[in-house]
Amino acid sequence: MSFTSADAYDRFMGRYSVQLTPQLADLAGVSDGQRALDVGCGPGALTAELVRRLGAENVAAVDPSEPFVTAVGERYPGVDVRQAGADDLPFPDDEFDVVLAQLVIHFLKDPVAGVAEMRRVTRPGGVVAACVWDHGGHEGPLRKFWQAAREIDPNVDDESRLPGVRQGQLGDYFRQAGLDEVSETSLTLAVEHTSFEEWWEPFTLGVGPAGTFVASLEPTYRARLREQCRKTVSEFPFTVRGKAWAAVGRA
């Protein structure tokens, strides 16, 4: 699975994830005077929102991908950006007022341990918040793509079995990780695509599980999937609507 090119990620998932950032920041109550950490920052969609609200000097970010860390450092000078995974954050205990993870928890081998690590670096009374696409309920922004893939192969791994992608799972992880006052909600988005090619082309960039799946296909199968996607998404302009599950809790 590839998360190596900032520009490719922006074109593929960034077109959707950018609509989640203000919603997640609002859910976490991000406001002036706080110090915040963006866990699994990618190329910086959420980082940008935190910088806008708090100033770069009050924002830190981590990601395991070196190209993403480089991109965030270049895009948002002054942010304390480091290469690290969510399960081993390079910060002392009680460092931040708010710690956020956007579209990250479902890629962790141990989600509860990852959330617990986020809690560790959050000051007592501070906030931890996260969101994950509703792949389990097939309401994420990639649902038309995976619908087409399942029509060709019902056994395709369509991300619906990833951790946290079903209603209630994020809240369970938060509680198991020792967070208090846990609440859950959903975030939504709507993105219009003007043509089939404009919608389809980012799937060919090799980004994330969907892009890796397309890249793994031999040419005939890939052409078949493309045609099935065209049948599934047949009228343009076409608006992609999606939902993400979100949870928030206090350290």
Query: Residue 225: is its pLDDT beyond 90?
Result: yes
CA gap 57, 74 in Å, rounded: 14
Q: Determine the pLDDT at residue 93.
A: 98
119 burial via Cβ count (<10 Å: 0-12, 13-18, 19+):
buried
Q: What are phi and psi of 185, to 5 degrees?
A: -155, -170
Q: Please, which pLDDT band fits residue 2 given cuts at 50, 70 and 90?
A: low
Question: What is the DSSP annotation of 168-201?
Answer: THHHHHHHHTT-EEEEEEEEEEEEEESSHHHHHG
* Interval 193-203: pLDDT, tens: 999 999 999 99
Domains of the chain and CATH, by start: 6-140+159-192+242-250 (3.40.50.150)
Q: For 73-113, how does the pLDDT look when each residue is reduced to its tens digit (9 = 90+)? A: 999 999 999 999 999 999 999 999 999 999 999 999 999 99
pTM above 0.75, yes or no: yes
Residue 235 scores a pLDDT above 70: yes
What single-letter amino acid sits at 87?
D
The per-residue pLDDT for range 10-43, each reduced to its tens digit, is: 999 999 999 999 999 999 999 999 999 999 999 9
- CA–CA distance, 47 with 53 (Å, rounded to integer): 10
What are the φ/ψ torsions at residue 138 (nearest 5 degrees)?
55, 40
| Whole-number pLDDT of residue 3 | 63
**142-188, pLDDT tens digit by residue?**
999 999 999 999 999 999 999 999 999 999 999 999 999 999 999 99
Provide the percentage of residues in the chain whose pLDDT is more than 90. Answer: 97
